[in-house]
Structure 1
Amino acid sequence: MSKVLIFGGTRFFGKRLVEKCLANGDEVTIATRGKQRDDFGNRIERITVDRANQLSMETVFAKSLTKWDVIYDQVCFSPYEAQIACDLFAGQVGKYVFTSSLSVYDIDDQPLKCEKDFDPFSYPIRSGGQEAFSYSEGKRQAEAFFAQKASFPVTMVRPPIVLGEDDYTERLHFHVRKILKGEPIGIDYLNTKLSFVGSDDLAQFLCWIGTNDLTGPVNSSAPDQITLNHLLAIIEGGSEHQAAVVDSKETEAESPFNFPKSIYQDVSVAEASGYCFQPLNRWLAPLIHKLLAAEK
């Protein structure tokens, strides 16, 4: 049994991570702002804290004698927040798992991204909170701070777009609803190839990596890719409706997957360590059919 602290954990793959850890027999505490209810009952402990606020974090953790086997950080978006964690949990945690993002990579003419394509161990660290950086740069800076300053082992998990029935961003739901209603979708790059990961698969990987020796950055994606054209075709086939694709300038409803160039991940590092992600051809179509059924 491990003693686990999860920053976040009340929605989407964070919620699934809690369930995975509980099923593993772990003693789980979630740390949130207390604004989102959960259904875990007395199976977990709860801490109310503002992850992005140093004083709030210090009030809760500075004098705590609790030693955590694993800390999962789902809500770190800047070097300032990474520094708070490095200061407070030095000597208090066996392993720190930071959920980063595919967004640390540049979108360029090299579509296949390997971990070495962004090196947090040499990236120049800048100071600042979330407001000082874009989402992508905030994640790069947080990775860099953990990589260069943490006194404890850190794994930086880099998922692409995460898909699932309970995705609160509803990016896949957006396409399903537009096609069912016959409404226009703004897409300029139908042949762009993207990688995705299922929310349950990502939660399983996070749970697994917490007890694995692998540290540093690691990609966390389905091993295959799909074009937007193919994605729309799956929805069309399941709904018997045609997608009304238009130039993104002609509608306010631009696809959140309208990337100008292909970008997907090499997951050989994870595979070499013993974890194999589920391929898209195994779970994406069934997920789309569930979303279609829920909307009809």
Structure 2
Amino acid sequence: MKKNILVLGGTKFFGKKTVNLLLEKGYQVTIATRGNTPHAFGDKVDHIILDARDGFHEGWREVTSHSWHAVFDNVCYTKEDARLIIEKLQGNMEQLFFTSSMAVYQGDKDGYEESDFDPFTYTIDPEKNVTYGEGKRQAETVFYTEAPFPVTSFRLPIVLDTDDYTERLLYYVEKGVNEETIRFQYSDVLVNYVKGSEAAEAIVWLIEHEKEGIFNISSRDAIPVQTFIQWLEEGVGKPIQVVYSGQPEPDSPFSVKHDQYLVSDKLIREGFELSTLEEWLKPLIRELRAQVENK
């Protein structure tokens, strides 16, 4: 029997890639979305209109009328979202897979490992300002301390690909092609990212193998910002004018004040092969350059 998988979200970027890969592998996939973004899956998926943040939305009736081998939640951002999933789906699914973020980690460290944020011991402060990172910390804490079902979370850095709707890498490629100055805070901080297609492959692999727990998913290595600039110069075929200001650069999406990268050795030890940055980031820069030049 084909496994029945519910995907909350899944119409954009690596969520879309994950759905396509699940379909290729023969899973029976249902997507649940608010219906604001058309999906490209045709009749290959069932589609439930659902606002997953509204506990009274009529779509929950259909969602809870089924049993799910797995639920992939790509749209949970807060403790309230997490508690609603627990309330609605306990007893209706075997395992939850949840998109978290590198943003759960805090402070300057030589690479973040999964143990650097422990949702089992984290105390939710109701008075704390809920940023994106804090929302993900609280959501993880609720899932791991309150859910009656197994939970797997994916902690991702910035995700890049040709269809990245945030266009963060495209920002730098366009600057390079147009010979405009690029600004960073520091040149020697270490960073890493993950390619959208590889993120989807890792997520599907974890679902297939029913892995439980917390997993960083990133490139297997990290590079200093100055190496990224060198690769950008190679990719656009022009020297890059760059300023390292020592000050926050909010308009420069890859600019950070200290090392910010994931150590994904745990996933590798489990048996999934991750790529190095050079293997995919250099070709991706060239692909985006061609997009810019062909506009």
State the 1:83 CA deviation.
0.1
**8 Å Cα contact 2:186-2:244 kept in structure 1:** no
The equivalent of 2:66 in structure 1 is 66
Deviations 1:183-211 (A, max 9, x none): 22221212111111110000011111113
Aligned CA distance change for structure 1 residues 34 and 114 (closer, same or farther; 3 Å): same
> Is 1:256 matched with 2:257?
no
Matches within 5 A, 1:14-25: 14-25=15-26
Amino acid at match of 2:161: G
State the distance in 2 between where 1:107 and 1:231 align. Answer: 22
**Structure 2 residue runs without a partner (length 5+):** none
State the 1:213 CA deviation.
3.6
State the distance in 2 between where 1:106 and 1:252 align. Answer: 19
State the 1:119 CA deviation.
0.3
Amino acid at match of 1:228: V
State the 1:32 CA deviation.
1.0
Q: What is the SS of the residue equivalent to 2:94? A: strand
> Is 1:46 matched with 2:47?
yes
State the 1:149 CA deviation.
0.4
**8 Å Cα contact 2:248-2:256 kept in structure 1:** no
TM-score calculated relative to the size of structure 2: 0.93
Amino acid at match of 1:85: I
**8 Å Cα contact 1:12-1:166 kept in structure 2:** yes
The equivalent of 2:123 in structure 1 is 124
**8 Å Cα contact 1:185-1:248 kept in structure 2:** no
Q: What is the SS of the residue equivalent to 2:149? A: coil
State the 1:47 CA deviation.
1.1
Deviations 1:232-288 (A, max 9, x none): 211211222222223569998731111100122221211122112111121111111
Match 1:270 to one of 267, 271, 290: 267
Aligned CA distance change for structure 1 residues 27 and 102 (closer, same or farther; 3 Å): same
Aligned CA distance change for structure 1 residues 101 and 3 (closer, same or farther; 3 Å): same
State the 1:107 CA deviation.
2.9
State the distance in 2 between where 1:210 and 1:91 align. Answer: 19
State the 1:70 CA deviation.
0.9
Q: What is the SS of the residue equivalent to 2:228? A: helix
State the distance in 1 between where 2:72 and 2:212 align. Answer: 13
Aligned CA distance change for structure 1 residues 252 and 220 (closer, same or farther; 3 Å): closer
The equivalent of 1:145 in structure 2 is 142
Matches within 5 A, 1:130-209: 133-209=130-206
Deviations 1:214-249 (A, max 9, x none): 212111111111222111211211222222223569
> Is 1:285 matched with 2:282?
yes
Q: What is the SS of the residue equivalent to 1:265? A: coil
Moved over 4 A (4+): 247-253
**Structure 1 residue runs without a partner (length 5+):** none
**8 Å Cα contact 1:111-1:261 kept in structure 2:** no
Q: RMSD between aligned alpha carbons?
A: 2.0
Amino acid at match of 1:264: Y
Number of aligned positions between the proteins: 291
Aligned CA distance change for structure 1 residues 93 and 248 (closer, same or farther; 3 Å): farther
Question: Sequence identity of aligned pairs in percent?
Answer: 35
Amino acid at match of 1:203: A
State the 1:62 CA deviation.
4.7
The equivalent of 2:219 in structure 1 is 222
State the distance in 2 between where 1:6 and 1:245 align. Answer: 41
State the 1:127 CA deviation.
5.4
Pick which of 25-34 and 47-56 moved more: 47-56
**8 Å Cα contact 2:249-2:255 kept in structure 1:** no
State the distance in 1 between where 2:40 and 2:223 align. Answer: 35
Q: What is the SS of the residue equivalent to 1:68? A: coil
Q: What is the SS of the residue equivalent to 1:125? A: coil
Amino acid at match of 1:111: D
**8 Å Cα contact 1:125-1:145 kept in structure 2:** no
TM-score calculated relative to the size of structure 1: 0.93
Match 2:209 to one of 208, 212, 215: 212
State the distance in 2 between where 1:219 and 1:138 align. Answer: 18
**8 Å Cα contact 2:14-2:196 kept in structure 1:** yes
Q: What is the SS of the residue equivalent to 2:95? A: strand
State the distance in 1 between where 2:142 and 2:247 align. Answer: 42
**8 Å Cα contact 2:104-2:134 kept in structure 1:** yes
